[in-house]
Amino acid sequence: MDLDTFKQLVYREFGDRLEHATPANVREFLDRLQMQEVSRRLPGERFEIHETGTTYEEIIKDFFARVLEMPRDDAIILLWTLAIDLAFAAVEHQYAEYFASLFRDLDRA
């Protein structure tokens, strides 16, 4: 997918300023993107993971090194999806902590 097509998907999903993005619909959007990628494979085609790293640190170093060698649009899309996934996971975690504290107070009553 080229960058312009990806941008249009994002804008259609979340609005021009991402004003409609929430942790839930960001997760759904990323899941749909992944399923679209999977559906492009031939039925029965196996996924191969060529990972030589044995620690998380080695794996992320390899990932970011490979991103530097990717075509520009592919790298931007990959890094953008990773960033929004991490950012909204943090938002979701923050909401969970906030609401957990509210419910803790109810349990004490």
Nearest to 63 by CA among 82, 86, 39, 36: 82
Question: pLDDT tens digits, residue range 4-53?
Answer: 999 999 999 999 999 999 999 999 999 999 999 888 877 777 777 777 88
> What is the end-to-end Cα distance of the chain in Å, rounded?
54
pTM, rounded to two decimals: 0.77
64/62 Cα distance (integer angstroms): 6
Domain ranges of the chain: 3-45+70-108
